Amino acid sequence: MNKTVSIADLKTDQKIAGEAFVLKEFETKQSRVGKSYYNLKLGDKTGDILGKVWTENLSNCERGLAIGDIISASGYIQEYAGKPQFIVESMKKLIDAAPEEFLPVTSRDRSRMKQDLEDEITKIKNPYLKKLLDAYWPNPDNRDKFTNFPAAEYVHHAYVGGLLEHTWEMLKLSKPFFEIYPGLDWNLFFTGLFFHDIGKLEEYDIVGAAIVRTTPGKLVGHITQGIVLLHEMIEEIPDFPKSLRDKLFHLIISHQGSLEYGSPVVPMTLEALILSFVDTNSADMNQAIKHIEKGLHTGEEFTEYHKWLKRSFYQGDLINHSSDVD
Ligand SMILES: [Fe+2]
Ligand SMILES: [Fe+2]
């Protein structure tokens, strides 16, 4: 397997000879004059690049390639609409490649984050919430998925361990609220926090070396899937109080903060308000940090416009600082 260049370092006019990438998107299109070509997105640990296979090169590409396959691709990089684009002249599947070498992974320590969440679970006093957490977490399959799954395909924490990192960041961000404001229900809040994105384990999957959105994920979405999962678990716990269930469901369904962001109701308890705050804090910080990391190599003072956060970020000090260090 040939991996000598990373996507983050690709330059215009660079020639690529048989380098390994993940096939992240793959679509056959028709040009205006009726000729077929492929639209691609290729990835590695460092990022993604859009690509094309023009009609004259289609016969140099192996048939039957699928999303998540690791491929060997040759061609060159050109600039299109101000961004690099990979013109692929040939590609074939690599059989012996290890998917984990191509998936982006959290830079934080997964075992430490897992331990911090476990420590909180052991402190939960409410017997019903404790039973609910204990029905989920000790199961090795659940723990494994929670620890390794991404929190998204693209938007935030979109890498192996992303859901764990997002949940852990929210745990850390929420602590000051409970120091400052008295009378809040930590047991309820923590259980809601822990399970708030649990539906993402159904919404996303890791296929080969690609993070993909599943069909149930597209049809049902993570909020509804989370509620279905929790409802099934709660049904197994005798006498689980209905009012507690409703307040827990409220935390899950309102966590995206507004109808515009996909929550069917807005937060109407103080715990739900805090959950939606820290969910946004963690997601926005992650997007901003990743966007700046991606933009640094340009040497520009400001990053490209970020379409979700609706701004460019200033990175001048970081660029100057990195040249000082050099
Ligand atoms: Fe969410
Ligand atoms: Fe979230």
Distance CA 248, CA 129 (A): 9
Q: What is the pLDDT of residues 192-224, one digit of tens each?
A: 999 999 999 999 988 888 888 899 999 999 999
Q: Highest-confidence range of 103-112, 225-234, 298-307, by mean pLDDT?
A: 225-234
For residue 198, report the distance from its CA to the centre of ligand 1, in Å: 9
- Of 45, 23, 49, 27, whose CA–CA distance to 36 is shortest? 27
pTM of the model: 0.86
pLDDT of residue 289: 93
Least distant ligand from the CA of 253: 1
pLDDT of residue 53: 95
Between these two residues, 288 and 207, which has the higher pLDDT value? 288
Q: If pLDDT is split at 50, 70 and 90, which confidence band does 322 have?
A: low
pLDDT of residue 320: 65
Q: What is the pLDDT of residues 226-278, one digit of tens each?
A: 999 999 999 999 999 999 999 999 999 999 999 988 889 999 999 999 999 99
Residues within 5 Å of ion ligand 1 by Cβ?
197
Least distant ligand from the CA of 256: 1
Model confidence at 303: pLDDT above 50: yes
Q: Is the dihedral of CA 2, 103, 11, 322 positive or negative?
A: negative
Query: In the chain, which residues fall in CATH 2.40.50.140?
Result: 7-97
pLDDT of residue 154: 77
Q: What is the pLDDT of residues 81-101, one digit of tens each?
A: 888 899 999 999 988 788 778
Q: What is the pLDDT of residues 21-77, one digit of tens each?
A: 999 998 999 988 899 999 999 998 888 899 999 999 999 999 889 888 999 999 999
Give the position of tokens 């700046």: 292
For residue 196, report the distance from its CA to the centre of ligand 2, in Å: 6
Q: Is the dihedral of CA 308, 105, 22, 208 positive or negative?
A: negative
**Tokens representing residue 82 in the block:** 């101000």
Model confidence at 169: pLDDT above 60: yes
For residue 115, report the distance from its CA to the centre of ligand 1, in Å: 22
Q: If pLDDT is split at 50, 70 and 90, which confidence band does 325 have?
A: very low
Q: If pLDDT is split at 50, 70 and 90, which confidence band does 112 have?
A: very high
For residue 291, report the distance from its CA to the centre of ligand 1, in Å: 20
Residues within 5 Å of ion ligand 2 by Cβ?
197, 279
Q: What is the pLDDT of residues 119-129, one digit of tens each?
A: 999 999 999 99
- Of 9, 4, 160, whose CA–CA distance to 73 is shortest? 4
The answer to whether 39 touches 68, Cβ cutoff 8 Å, is: no
For residue 252, report the distance from its CA to the centre of ligand 1, in Å: 8
Provide the CATH number for the domain formed by 7-97 in this structure.
2.40.50.140
pLDDT of residue 326: 46
Mean pLDDT (whole number) for 269-296? 94
